[in-house]
C-alpha cells in the first residue's frame, strides 16, 4: 500500500508540475495581451471543460501533461482569425515572447527552489563537507561501522546463510572504533586500512589496534575471504582478498538542517550544485544509451543511467515503502530542475527552440540593418519541420528506451 502511495505521489507531483508549467505560459501571455484560447490538463478526449472569457479550461482523459494554445505562436500558423492578428504571439517584441516561452521553465525552477528551501528547513540538505569522491572517503579516519556479514563483490543484497559473519564483530570490535593499526602496521586513514587488508591473507589471525571512547585496545581478528576488484580499478577483474567485515563511518553528517533564514543561503548553494550536476548529466546521456540497452538485455542496471517518469514513480514508491519519505522531496526537486533545464535547450519543439529562433531573428535583423540591407523577416518554421521531426523521433525513442528499462530492469535503491 505504501509503495502504491509513493508511486501516486510522484506521478501526481509530475502532473501538477507540468500543469503549472503550462499555466506559466498562459498567465504571462495573457499579461502581455496575447490571446490564449485553451488551457487543458492532459491529452486525448475531453472529460470536462468550461469557458471563461476567451479561454476554454478543462481536463482531458490521458493525464500525461498539459497544454495551452496561444494564438499565432509562429507566422506560419494558419488558424488565426483575422480579428486576432494584432494579438498573434509572433507579432510581439522578442523580449515578451522570451518571457512567455521561458515562463514554463521558470515555474519548474521556482518549484525546485521552494522544495529545496523546504528540504533545508525540515529534511536537511547534503553537507558540503561530506566526502563526495572515492579519494575523499579514503582520506577519512578509519572509524568503522560493523557489517553483519561479508557479501562477495559488494553485492547489493542482504546477508544470506552462505555469507561469512563479520570477522570484526567476532573479534569484539564495535561500531565507532577508530582503527589505528593492522597487523602491526600504523593506520592513519580508511584508505590505508584498505591497502593493508589487500596485503593480508584470508584466514590469518591478525592484531587490530583501535581507540574506543579515548581508550586504546587490541583485538585479534581472523580474516574472512571474499571477492573484490582491485582498489585502483573498481571495474577490473575480481579476485580473492581478505575481508574484515566493516564499512566506513564518516565523521561528518551527510545532511544538515538550517533555520528559515540560513536556509536561503543553503538553498542557493544547493541550487548551484544542482545546476552543475544537471549539466553534467545532460552531457552524459549519449554515453549512457548503451548501458540502457544492456540493462534491458539482463545486465545489472547502472544506477547512473537516465530514468523515465515510470522509474521516478517506482523510486518514490520504494522510498515510501522503506520509510524514507524524504527521498520523495528530493525526487520532486531534481525532476523539476532537470525538466526546467531540458526545456530550455535550443531545440524544437521545446520552448528553448522557440526562444533561440526569436533571438536569431532579432540578431539577424540587427545585422541586416547595419549592412543597409532589407530585413529578411521571420524564420519559416515549415522549413525546420524535418529537424523538428528528427528531434521528436530521437526523443520519443529515448523515452521508450528508458521506460522499457524502468519496467524490465528498474533502478532500486534498497537491497531486496
Catalytic residues: 22
> Which cell is 30 given?
495573457
Peptide bond into 304 cis (omega under 30): no
Closest CA to 312 of 406, 415, 398: 406
Cα 135 from chain centroid?
23
> Which cell is 267 given?
538553498
> Which cell is 111 given?
518549484
CA pair distance 325, 10, nearest whole angstrom: 11
Could you tell me whether strands 239-243 and 224-228 are parallel, antiparallel, or unpaired per DSSP bridges?
Answer: antiparallel
CA pair distance 301, 312, nearest whole angstrom: 15
* CB 182, CB 208: distance < 8 Å: yes
> Which cell is 360 given?
536569431
Find cell 494564438 and name the residue.
Answer: 71
* CB 169, CB 160: distance < 8 Å: no
How many CB atoms are closer than 10 A to CB 308? 18
CA pair distance 195, 304, nearest whole angstrom: 27
Q: Can you state the angle between helices 94-118 and 326-342, rounded to 10 degrees? A: 160
Q: Can you state the angle between helices 2-32 and 326-342, rounded to 10 degrees? A: 40
* CB 216, CB 233: distance < 8 Å: no
* CB 255, CB 127: distance < 8 Å: yes
> Which cell is 266 given?
543553503
The residues near 362 (Cβ < 8 Å, ≥ 6 apart) are 94
Tell me if residue 51 falls in helix, strand or coil: strand
Closest CA to 216 of 244, 186, 191, 236: 186
Amino acid at each position: 500500500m505504501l509503495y502504491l502511495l509513493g508511486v501516486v505521489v510522484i506521478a501526481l507531483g509530475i502532473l501538477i508540475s507540468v500543469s503549472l508549467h503550462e499555466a506559466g505560459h498562459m498567465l504571462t501571455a495573457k499579461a502581455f495581451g496575447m490571446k490564449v484560447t485553451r488551457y487543458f490538463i492532459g491529452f486525448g478526449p475531453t472529460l470536462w471543460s468550461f469557458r471563461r472569457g476567451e479561454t476554454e479550461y478543462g481536463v482531458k482523459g490521458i493525464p500525461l501533461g498539459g497544454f495551452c494554445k496561444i494564438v499565432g505562436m509562429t507566422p506560419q500558423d494558419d488558424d488565426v482569425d483575422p480579428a486576432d492578428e494584432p494579438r498573434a504571439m509572433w507579432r510581439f517584441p522578442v523580449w515578451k515572447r522570451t518571457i512567455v516561452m521561458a515562463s514554463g521553465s521558470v515555474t519548474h525552477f521556482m518549484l525546485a527552489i521552494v522544495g529545496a528551501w523546504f528540504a533545508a528547513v525540515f529534511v536537511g540538505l547534503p553537507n558540503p563537507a561530506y566526502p563526495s569522491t572515492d579519494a575523499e572517503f579514503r582520506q577519512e579516519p578509519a572509524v568503522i561501522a560493523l557489517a553483519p556479514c561479508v557479501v562477495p563483490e559488494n553485492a547489493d543484497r542482504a546477508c544470506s546463510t552462505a555469507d561469512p559473519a563479520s570477522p570484526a564483530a567476532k573479534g569484539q570490535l564495535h561500531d565507532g572504533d577508530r582503527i589505528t593499526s593492522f597487523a602491526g602496521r600504523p593506520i592513519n586513514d580508511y584508505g590505508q586500512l584498505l591497502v593493508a587488508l589487500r596485503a593480508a591473507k584470508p584466514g590469518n589471525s591478525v592484531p587490530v589496534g583501535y581507540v574506543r571512547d579515548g581508550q586504546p585496545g587490541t583485538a585479534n581478528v581472523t580474516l574472512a575471504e571474499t571477492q573484490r576488484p582491485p582498489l585502483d580499478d573498481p571495474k577490473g577483474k575480481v579476485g580473492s582478498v581478505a575481508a574484515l567485515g566493516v564499512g566506513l563511518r564518516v565523521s561528518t553528517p551527510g545532511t544538515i538542517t538550517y533555520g528559515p533564514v540560513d536556509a536561503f543561503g543553503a538553498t542557493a548553494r544547493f541550487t548551484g550544485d544542482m545546476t552543475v550536476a544537471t549539466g553534467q548529466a545532460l552531457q552524459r546521456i549519449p554515453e549512457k544509451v548503451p548501458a540502457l540497452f544492456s540493462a534491458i538485455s539482463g545486465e545489472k542496471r547502472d544506477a547512473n543511467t537516465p530514468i523515465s517518469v515510470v522509474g521516478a514513480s517506482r523510486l518514490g514508491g520504494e522510498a515510501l515503502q522503506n520509510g524514507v519519505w524524504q527521498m520523495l522531496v528530493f525526487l520532486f526537486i531534481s525532476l523539476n530542475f532537470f525538466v526546467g533545464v531540458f526545456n530550455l535547450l535550443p531545440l524544437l519543439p521545446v520552448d528553448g527552440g522557440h526562444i533561440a529562433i526569436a533571438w536569431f531573428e532579432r540578431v539577424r535583423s540587427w545585422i541586416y540593418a547595419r549592412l543597409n540591407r532589407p530585413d529578411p523577416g521571420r524564420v519559416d518554421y515549415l522549413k525546420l519541420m524535418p529537424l523538428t521531426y528528427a528531434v521528436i523521433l530521437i526523443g520519443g525513442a529515448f523515452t521508450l528506451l528508458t521506460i522499457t528499462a524502468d519496467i524490465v530492469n528498474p533502478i532500486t535503491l534498497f537491497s531486496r
